[in-house]
Amino acid sequence: MKKLLTKFIIPICLLIIILTQIYNYINGFRVEKSMLVVVVALMPAAVKGLELNIDENIFKLFERIMVVLAVVGLIYVFWSTM
């Protein structure tokens, strides 16, 4: 039971973040770009925790792409708040 709970905690939290941002967008509220950067940064950990049958080379490429997107997003968020 504990392993099952810890397996799904990060993906569920990321899904909640995405859904709240979609809700904010639909209702005309401000979309927090920093929350989307957090989702992108934690996506590889969520996919790894789900233990999907993904080729190791493809997953490493996915991790690198997500890291690059997270860093670019973080720079954008810092730049836009200045």
CA distance 38 to 76: 13
Q: Are 43 and 66 in contact (CB under 8 A)?
A: yes
Q: What is the pLDDT of residue 2?
A: 66
User: In this predicted model, what pLDDT tens digit does every residue of 35-62 receive, in sequence order?
Assistant: 999 999 999 999 998 888 899 999 999 9
Residue 38 token pair: 């957090």
Q: What is the pLDDT of residue 68?
A: 97
User: In this predicted model, what pLDDT tens digit does every residue of 2-27 receive, in sequence order?
Assistant: 677 778 899 999 999 999 999 999 99
Encoded amino acid at 32, one letter: E
What are the extents of the domains in the chain?
2-81
Q: What is the pLDDT of residue 55?
A: 92
